[in-house]
Amino acid sequence: DAGITQSPRHKVTETGTPVTLRCHQTENHRYMYWYRQDPGHGLRLIHYSYGVKDTDKGEVSDGYSVSRSKTEDFLLTLESATSSQTSVYFCAIQGGRGGYTFGSGTRLTVV
């Protein structure tokens, strides 16, 4: 999907365990973003990156960390998963004609 892939597509994990979601792009874009999507809230920004090793917090960053050691990869880590982090997670890159290009999403269930 326009050179952006997310893995895994689905994951079920237990409360208290760490979880890492991966976003990979082949577009060489500088900006990458992690959003979560929940009913009643829409898409909310968790963290974003504006270059290798350059990251910043979004509006719902508590309980999440990110890393970007290469231009093409942006990792989202749930340090100790909680049920409130059950959600659909989307990675996005800033597209060439403005706006974002989104990945297909990761459905995460914390039990």
Partner 1 sequence: QKEVEQDPGPLSVPEGAIVSLNCTYSNSAFQYFMWYRQYSRKGPELLMYTYSSGNKEDGRFTAQVDKSSKYISLFIRDSQPSDSATYLCATETSGSRLTFGEGTQLTVNP
Q: 13-48 as b/e, with b when 16 or more CB fall inside 10 Å? A: beeeeebebebbbebebeebbbbbeeeeeeeebbbb
Q: Whose Cβ is closer to partner 1: residue 14's or residue 97's?
A: 97
Read off φ and ψ for residue 89, nearest 5 degrees: -110, 130
Q: Is residue 67 close enough to count as binding partner 1 by CB under 8 A? A: no
Site of tokens 């659909």: 88
Q: Whose Cβ is closer to partner 1: residue 10's or residue 14's?
A: 10
Question: HSE of 111 in the Cβ direction (CA atoms, 13 Å)?
Answer: 4
Q: Is residue 53 close enough to count as binding partner 1 by CB under 8 A? A: no
Q: Is residue 50 close enough to count as binding partner 1 by CB under 8 A? A: yes
From residue 2 to residue 41, what is the string marking binding to partner 1 with x (rule CB under 8 A)? -----------------------------x-x-x----xx
Judged by the rule CB under 8 A, the positions of this chain that interact with partner 1 are: 1, 31, 33, 35, 40-45, 48, 50, 56, 58, 90, 94-95, 97-105
